[in-house]
């Protein structure tokens, strides 16, 4: 493939920059996600530079046909790219072309007839209630420093007890705590209020009392050993140690605690719409996956217990 810098014509580069700016300001994508979108477009442009035999212009993009996109997908497959990665790249490419169309720069129907790769069906792998409770209990016993032990316990309790993503938990400030609820800013900048049950409030209070650093009400309250904002990698490493100590499966991660929160609520009769609100899902279809998990659990019990199973 050609170098991306030479694959894109100078006349096209400002429009790429405008698209990325739109994703950053209007869509409020995180830097990591924004970088992935840019990388995915770079991959297409590098391919087209070779495929078309010259720098890619707006005119060249408008002249693309379905066969050109299929050739790109085939080339990525030959390079060993998996279905999920290819689907993500195709999603970013569709987004870029949709932006160009809204700006009346390019119109093409080729992408509308392209079908993405078939993705393997995978379900979240939650912990059992016993595993989740043991993990939270052991967290405080694995660290010699009392305040760090309290910190890690509070973060993981937020993931399991309130269903927060690790990034959401680490982004919380004391100003976000509102009595028995917490104000959470989720994906896409969506704001939701999540109830804090007593064990979560107690875990947070214990951490704040022991934390040796003075943190203003509007700053992220979870801090690293030197006072900086806590890195998610440190919490991931804590869970890795818990996996080893408790014999948990590799799927046991901080995010698995969020899956456990939703699955255990549903198993105890929780309403799907309510769980959607608590998790901050934009679409109910994202939450419905937990009904499949609960069904699989019931079937597993049935198979093990029924004499004719």
Q: Looking at the annotation, which residues are catalytic?
A: 165, 187, 255, 258, 281, 290
Q: How far apart are CA 159 and CA 169, in angstroms?
A: 7
Do 26 and 95 form a contact (C-beta atoms < 8 A)?
no
The radius of gyration of the chain's CA atoms, rounded to the nearest angstrom, is: 23
C-alpha distances in Å from residue 170, one per residue of 174, 214, 251: 11, 16, 21
Token pair of 52 as six digits: 């078309």
Strand ranges (DSSP E) for the chain? 177-178, 181-185, 191-195
Q: 């440190």: which residue's tokens?
A: 234
Judge contact between 241 and 142, C-beta under 8 A.
yes
CA dist 248 and 126 (Å) reads: 11
Checking DSSP bridges between strand 177-178 and strand 191-195, what pairing results, if any? unpaired
CA distance 261 to 279: 9
Q: State the greatest distance between any 2 C-alpha atoms of the chain, in Å, as a whole number.
A: 71
Q: Which long-range contacts (CB under 8 A, 24 or more apart) does 174-178 make?
A: 174/208, 174/215, 174/217, 174/221, 175/217, 175/218, 177/204
Residue 195 carries which DSSP code? E
């Amino acid at each position: 493939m050609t170098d991306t810098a030479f694959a894109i014509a100078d006349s096209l580069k400002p429009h790429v920059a405008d698209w990325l700016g739109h994703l950053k300001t209007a869509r409020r994508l995180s830097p990591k996600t924004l970088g992935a979108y840019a990388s995915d477009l770079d991959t297409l442009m590098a391919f087209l530079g070779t495929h078309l035999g010259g720098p890619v212009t707006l005119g060249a993009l408008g002249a693309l046909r379905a066969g050109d996109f299929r050739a790109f997908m085939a080339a990525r497959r030959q390079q060993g790219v998996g279905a999920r990665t290819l689907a993500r790249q195709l999603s970013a490419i569709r987004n870029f072309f949709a932006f160009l169309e809204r700006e009346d720069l390019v119109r093409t129907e080729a992408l509308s007839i392209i079908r993405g790769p078939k993705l393997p069906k995978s379900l979240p792998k939650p912990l059992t209630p016993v595993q989740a409770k043991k993990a939270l209990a052991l967290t405080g016993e694995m660290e010699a420093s009392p305040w760090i032990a309290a910190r890690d316990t509070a973060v993981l309790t937020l993931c399991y007890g309130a269903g927060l993503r690790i990034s959401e938990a680490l982004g919380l400030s004391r100003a976000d705590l509102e009595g028995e609820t917490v104000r959470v800013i989720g994906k896409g900048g969506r704001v939701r209020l999540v109830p804090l049950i007593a064990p979560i409030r107690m875990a947070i209070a214990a951490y704040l009392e022991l934390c040796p650093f003075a943190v203003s009400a509007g700053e992220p309250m979870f801090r690293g050993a030197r006072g900086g904002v806590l890195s998610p990698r440190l919490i991931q490493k804590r869970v890795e140690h818990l996996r080893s100590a408790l014999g948990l499966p590799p799927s046991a991660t901080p995010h698995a605690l969020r899956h456990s929160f939703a699955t255990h609520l549903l198993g105890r009769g929780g309403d799907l719409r309510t769980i959607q609100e608590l998790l901050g899902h934009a679409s109910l279809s994202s939450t419905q996956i937990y009904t499949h998990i609960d069904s699989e659990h019931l079937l597993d019990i049935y198979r093990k217990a029924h004499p004719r199973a």
